[in-house]
Amino acid sequence: MSDLAPRTRTAFPPPLLIGAALAVVGLVLLVFGATTPQLVTPAKAAVALLGLGLLLAGASRLGKVWAGPGFDVVFWFGAAWLLLLGLAILCAPWLPLAEDRDVASTVAEPVFATPTFTGGHPLGTNAFGLDLLARSLYGARSSLLISLSAVALGTVVGGAIGMVAGYFQKSVDRVVGIATNSLLAVPPLILLIALATVLQPHLRNVAFSLALLTIPGMVRLARATTMAYANREFVVAARAMGAGRTRILLRELLPNVLLPVLSLAVVMISVLVVAEASLSFLGLGIQPPEPTWGNMIAEGEGRVFEEHPHIVLVPGAFLFLTVFAFNVVGEKARGRWDSRSVKL
């Protein structure tokens, strides 16, 4: 039982101090690595990664002192990133950002400027002197708007179809099954390319094509969950009391299907952020000069990446961090739901 006794907190130096020191050193290294032009790229990356690792370790220690041993630093890191990004996106028009799309107004700006805190371009500029921080934030606007609306559309449509198929079964289920299987049988990229050639590449159409990708997964999850609950005895009890189909679907089944479907939706957002970037990279999504992460990465084509790696690394880092954060948060949400269902 001794290992369960509360840990004594008289260790020296106190964990609070170690945590804070680690975090500060890490942050300094991260900024130094990312912004020092004198270093070669691999050295920058190594210093930045070391800084990130130290930052996380420090934050983890701080968090554990603060919130107890259950503190999950990666989750909070992800949540903080999403919050920060969300705020920045919403406030972008009022932030003191440099020009992001009008090439005519940046004739005087340096081209391919490397990231640095001095000068007006903290994340550097591209071939036309456009500011990468501004482009990344405005790019995030379209990337996230597209994937969020696509996921919302896919969740509502796919979830509804799945619930209906799972509840009525028989011929309804068979038709839905054939439709989802045929949708799954078409390689997603080919489907998107085919759609892109037919539809105009603006925001609504890209969102619509991507929504099509999420529907089969949503249908399957909603259908399986509905079927699992439809055989539960509380549904029989509701029917015995005279409840109709609509009431059973909405009042008995929907609350139980909603949580697993929503946690899949969060994970799906990250998949669609990547998918949208791939589309734009191929030139099939939103067209430049309107920025998205995908077409920003595409600017690094040819020899540009070798000479000016930050052109790709900056939007790449935004993409990576966002996708990672959505996955971490989604996993946590699902884990929470699972443990609840075990208790029931």
Partner 1 sequence: MTTTRDAPALTATDLVVEFPAGRGQKVHAVSGVSLEVAAGETLGILGESGCGKSTVGRSLIQLPPPDAGTVRLGDVTLTGLAPRELRRARARMQIIMQDPVSALNPRRRVKDLVWEGRSIWGPGDDTRDKDARVDAALRDVGLDPATVRDRRPHELSGGQCQRVCIARALMLDPEVLICDEPVSSLDVSVQAQILNLLETTTRRRALSMVFIAHDVSVVKNISDRVMVMYLGKVCEVLPSDGMQHEAVHPYTRLLLASLPEAQLGSAAPAGPPAAEERAAELPSPLNPPSGCRFRTRCPLATERCAAEEPAPREIRPGHRIACHHAEPRRNHP
Partner 2 sequence: MTPKREAATTAPAPTDGTRGTAAPPLLDATDVRTAFHTPRGAVRAVDGVSLTLSEGETLGIVGESGSGKSVLGRTLMGLITDGPGTTVSGTVRIGGKDVHALTPAGRRALWGTEVAMVFQDPMTSLNPVKKTGTHLSESLRLHLGLGRADARDRAVDLLRQVGIPEPARRAGQYPHELSGGMRQRVVIAMALACGPRLLIADEPTTALDVTVQKQILDLLRSLAEELRMATILISHDLATVAGRTDRVAVMYAGRLVEYADTAAVFDRPRHPYSSALIASIPRLDLPPHTLLPAIEGRPPNLLHPPAGCRFAPRCDTATDRCTTESPGLTAYAGERDAGGLVACHHPLGAAEEAAV
Smallest gap from Cβ 264 to partner 1, in A, equals: 18
Place of tokens 């697993």: 260
SS3 for 125?
Answer: strand
* Residue 238 binding partner 1, by CB under 8 A: yes
Based on CB atoms, which residue is closest to partner 2, 3 or 306? 3
Smallest gap from Cβ 290 to partner 2, in A, equals: 51
Out of 3, 107, 185, 244, the only residue in the binding site for partner 2 (CB under 8 A) is: 3
Q: Which does 255 bind (CB under 5 to 8 A by kind): partner 2, partner 1, none?
A: partner 1
The candidate with the shortest Cα–Cα distance to 206, out of 216, 186, 192, is 192
Question: Using CB under 8 A, which of the segments 1-9, 101-109, 144-152, 317-325 binds partner 2?
Answer: 1-9
Out of 1, 190, 241, 342, the only residue in the binding site for partner 2 (CB under 8 A) is: 1
The candidate with the shortest Cα–Cα distance to 219, out of 151, 148, 154, is 154
- Residues whose CB falls within 8 Å of the CB of residue 239, separated by 6 or more in sequence, listed in order: 248
The candidate with the shortest Cα–Cα distance to 85, out of 325, 281, 333, is 325
* Residue 339 binding partner 2, by CB under 8 A: no
**212, 299 contact by CB (below 8 A):** no
Round to whole Å and give the CA distance between 78 and 42: 25
Based on CB atoms, which residue is closest to partner 2, 2 or 8? 2
Smallest gap from Cβ 343 to partner 2, in A, equals: 13
Smallest gap from Cβ 4 to partner 2, in A, equals: 5
Out of 101, 239, 274, 288, the only residue in the binding site for partner 1 (CB under 8 A) is: 239
Six token digits for residue 193: 């390319």
Six token digits for residue 100: 């992001």
DSSP 259-287: HHHHHHHHHHHHHHHHHHHHHHHTT-SSP
Q: Which does 148 bind (CB under 5 to 8 A by kind): partner 1, partner 2, none?
A: none
Half-sphere exposure of 20 (CA within 13 A, CB side): 7
* Residue ranges in 5-34 that form contacts with partner 2 under rule CB under 8 A: 5
Number of residues that bind partner 2 (CB under 8 A): 5
Q: Which does 5 bind (CB under 5 to 8 A by kind): partner 2, partner 1, none?
A: partner 2
Question: Using CB under 8 A, which of the segments 35-43, 89-97, 189-197, 235-243 binds partner 1?
Answer: 235-243
Round to whole Å and give the CA distance between 126 and 314: 11
Round to whole Å and give the CA distance between 201 and 280: 10
Return the number of other C-beta atoms located less than 10 Å from residue 236's C-beta.
11
Site for partner 1, rule CB under 8 A? 232-234, 236-244, 247, 252, 255-256, 343-344
Site for partner 2, rule CB under 8 A? 1-5
